[in-house]
Structure 1
Amino acid sequence: MAVRSTTTAETGTRTRDHDTPAPRRPRNTRAGAWFAAFLLLTVSVVLGCRTADTDAITPVPQLLAFLPWLLAPTAVALLFAALSHWRIGLVWGVAALAVTAWYIEPYGKTMEPGGVPVAEIRVLTANVEFGKATDGLIEAVSEQRPDLVFVQECEDTCEKKLDQAFGKASKADKADKLKEKSREKGKEKGKAKTGVYPYRQVVASATSEGSDGSVILSRHPLTPAKGIPATMGMPGATADVDGQEIHLQLAHPMPPLPSTLGTWREELAALRDYAAANIGRPTVVAGDFNATQDHAAFRRILDTGFMDGARLTGDTRTPSWPALTAPAFGAQIDHVLVSRGFTATRTRFLELGNTDHRALVVDLVLRKST
């Protein structure tokens, strides 16, 4: 019986599997995967700091201000990972989306209304950017008629315009008479119908075009308080609102620029200490905090028990800065914080013009247990 031998000719051109080179990924596909990895790594570093409850170093604090918008680069990374057939990237991207969505939820305590209403207060806070938006502020105050006005970056010209528009502190007696007369004619939710703000607490600007000037205007009598020492003016006062003593503190810490991160942390920490010391009595802290709920330094203020007025009315993520792109894009860095006993009924964000901030108006109710 003849044994048939297999020749190369009979096997044709078939080659062994182990001799077949692995297919190489196209260069454009590899570039897409690397780009997706870069985006996801950046997002993950920011989310990692948020999870670790730290503001870390530049550029993390700056990126944390826009944490909800991290959804955009994450979505782009997912697209490139899909086009590159990068499975690890797809899983990574989905996880980053989930973590970002988790932290978009509002932070801070809320309190169910309870007790008897003893005072109703409308608070307006505005950063007028070196006084440039003073005219817009005067118009907004005239329309909104707040009880308390917190003004940041109010230099000398700004102060003079406010004096001309709303009366000087030296006219307090005359303002009291107008106030009593308006009360006799009637009130609108407890607010006197006079355009005069005779009471004020001021930290004057050191320069004619500085950002360190701040003013608290009030319809109600004010007693000066120490305030918080800071690079920019943060005056304090105590207001007598319908017989209720309410402590006031203007907030305007340094912004978290690379060169001022240490000062930013220190001044937010000072605000946190003030909040901790005043949580047990009626207190309002309002202004440009240069921080959002995604900054650990700001959350520590909320952890004292103070509540964000915008959080109480469901407007936590409404941007207040930069005004040029708000409300479509931005961050909420302007806040009205209140101690226990307060509830908020309404929040509005106003366009003043000539400033990079939107003004914030919050209607508050102070309640006390019977």
Structure 2
Amino acid sequence: MAIPSHERRPRFVAIQGVRTWMSWIVVVPFALWAGVRLSGFEPGWPWVPAVAGTPYAAGAAAVALALACLLRRWAAGAVALASVLAMGVAVLPRALPDGPPAARGPALRVLAANLLVGKADTDELMALVARTRPDVLALQELTPAAMRRLEAAGLRRTLRHAVTRPRDGVGGSAVYARHPLEAGEAIDLGGFGQVRAWLRHPGGERVEIVSVHPCAPNRAERLPCWRAGLAALPRAGGELRVLAGDFNATLDHVPMRDLLASGYRDAAEVTGHGLRATWPQWSRRPGVTIDHVLADERMAVRAFEVLPLRGTDHRPVFAELSLPRGG
């Protein structure tokens, strides 16, 4: 039996209303996310850990756009499209390699690894050192026991120069190198040590190396320590610098964007590998990119890799850089 027209009309209006509300419910969260991400304002916890998932939010915003179009809610679709474009501008350059590097100076090969309170597999790390042949190795969460194992395995025979600050727990760090090192003033905040060392390259260049490891922003009360640890890192300019290690931050965090704006480039982003997750390793949870090699913008980035390492929750990162001639 046909439904009378005067009864069909309210039902149609109700269905349309449900579609409208459904479309806005899925679109608005990503619009707010995009707005905050691009604003330069960074709220506190839990936004700080959440914003690391911006690449995933960009993908979800695209799904929201498709749903709004499927429901023919064009106003919501327009907002969703703006959100996708806004987050795409922030995220897509990480997957697109830059042009050929300009610097043609001597090479500087940098490997960085978080050892998970010294638990990383010693033999596998030594194999990575043998394969990548780094000039510099930056270690985080280096314990005294882990340092003894690594040096017994021959690390100091391969990388003869070192500035080390091992500690029990998560706060130890070190820089090992093939070339002479001069210790700089370490950064020590909240129990997280970040070794600084000046490397004298055979080509004559002097480069500061920082083994980066600020506090993790995993709780609200840790945010001030996290921000202070990143703010204490040296800005680019003047002397050449390379910052390498576990930043506990992605390129979507304001302190990281401030660092880059001072004159650094992220090696992963330059080579189109900026969406490769580095933490957590060996886990089903979505990964984020918090381990980086930041190089002075006067350096060329020739190669970048994210590598496996048993015994730790972080993936080591490796970059091959070229120093500017006369740097």
TM-score in terms of structure 2 length? 0.86
Give, as a single letter, the amino acid of the residue that structure 1 aligns with 2:126.
Answer: I
Alignment match, 2:205: 244
Q: d(CA) in 2 for partners of 1:62 and 1:91?
A: 28
Q: d(CA) in 2 for partners of 1:257 and 1:295?
A: 14
Q: d(CA) in 1 for partners of 2:117 and 2:174?
A: 13
Q: d(CA) in 1 for partners of 2:116 and 2:306?
A: 16
**2:38, 2:86 within 8 Å by CA — same for their partners in 1?**
no
1:203 corresponds, among 165, 185, 193, to: 165
Alignment match, 2:145: 157
Alignment match, 2:186: 227
**2:110, 2:134 within 8 Å by CA — same for their partners in 1?**
yes
2:294 corresponds, among 337, 348, 351, to: 337
Give, as a single letter, the amino acid of the residue that structure 1 aligns with 2:186.
Answer: G
1:197-242 superposed Cα distances (whole Å, 9 cap, x missing partner): 222112221x3xx111112111211111102222311011111220
List runs of 5+ in structure 2 lacking aligned partners. Answer: none
Whether 2:257 is the aligned partner of 1:295: answer no
Alignment match, 1:364: 321
Q: d(CA) in 1 for partners of 2:312 and 2:67?
A: 38
2:223 corresponds, among 261, 271, 288, to: 261
Displacement of 1:281 after TM fit? 1.4
**1:281, 1:340 within 8 Å by CA — same for their partners in 2?**
no
Q: d(CA) in 2 for partners of 1:361 and 1:318?
A: 13
Q: d(CA) in 1 for partners of 2:120 and 2:290?
A: 18
**1:37, 1:77 within 8 Å by CA — same for their partners in 2?**
no
The DSSP-based 3-state class of the residue aligned with 2:187 is: coil
Q: d(CA) in 2 for partners of 1:28 and 1:353?
A: 54
The DSSP-based 3-state class of the residue aligned with 2:158 is: coil
Q: Give the superposed CA RMSD.
A: 2.9
2:11 corresponds, among 2, 6, 24, to: 24
Matches within 5 A, 1:25-40: 33-40=20-27
**Would the alpha carbon gap of residues 268 and 111 (structure 1) be closer, same or farther in structure 2, given more than 3 Å must change?**
farther
List runs of 5+ in structure 1 lacking aligned partners. Answer: 1-14, 169-194
Give, as a single letter, the amino acid of the residue that structure 1 aligns with 2:160.
Answer: P
**Would the alpha carbon gap of residues 36 and 322 (structure 1) be closer, same or farther in structure 2, given more than 3 Å must change?**
farther
1:68-124 superposed Cα distances (whole Å, 9 cap, x missing partner): 2113322343354355553332222222222221221337xx89755662x311100
Alignment match, 1:275: 235
Q: d(CA) in 1 for partners of 2:26 and 2:206?
A: 51
Whether 2:42 is the aligned partner of 1:55: answer yes
Alignment match, 2:28: 41
Identity of aligned residues (%): 28
Alignment match, 1:96: 83
Matches within 5 A, 1:168-187: 168=156
TM-score in terms of structure 1 length? 0.76
1:66 corresponds, among 53, 56, 72, to: 53
**1:111, 1:343 within 8 Å by CA — same for their partners in 2?**
no
**2:103, 2:300 within 8 Å by CA — same for their partners in 1?**
no
**1:30, 1:84 within 8 Å by CA — same for their partners in 2?**
no
Q: Larger Cα Rg: Structure 1 or Structure 2? A: 1
Q: d(CA) in 2 for partners of 1:165 and 1:238?
A: 25
Whether 2:131 is the aligned partner of 1:143: answer yes
The DSSP-based 3-state class of the residue aligned with 1:163 is: helix
Alignment match, 1:174: none
Alignment match, 1:218: 177
The DSSP-based 3-state class of the residue aligned with 2:134 is: coil
Q: d(CA) in 2 for partners of 1:153 and 1:121?
A: 23
Give, as a single letter, the amino acid of the residue that structure 2 aligns with 1:92.
Answer: V
**1:55, 1:297 within 8 Å by CA — same for their partners in 2?**
no
**Would the alpha carbon gap of residues 127 and 52 (structure 1) be closer, same or farther in structure 2, given more than 3 Å must change?**
same
**Would the alpha carbon gap of residues 130 and 38 (structure 1) be closer, same or farther in structure 2, given more than 3 Å must change?**
farther
1:169-190 superposed Cα distances (whole Å, 9 cap, x missing partner): xxxxxxxxxxxxxxxxxxxxxx
**2:279, 2:315 within 8 Å by CA — same for their partners in 1?**
yes
Q: d(CA) in 2 for partners of 1:368 and 1:230?
A: 35
The DSSP-based 3-state class of the residue aligned with 2:232 is: helix
1:317 corresponds, among 253, 275, 297, to: 275
**Would the alpha carbon gap of residues 21 and 29 (structure 1) be closer, same or farther in structure 2, given more than 3 Å must change?**
closer
**2:30, 2:80 within 8 Å by CA — same for their partners in 1?**
no
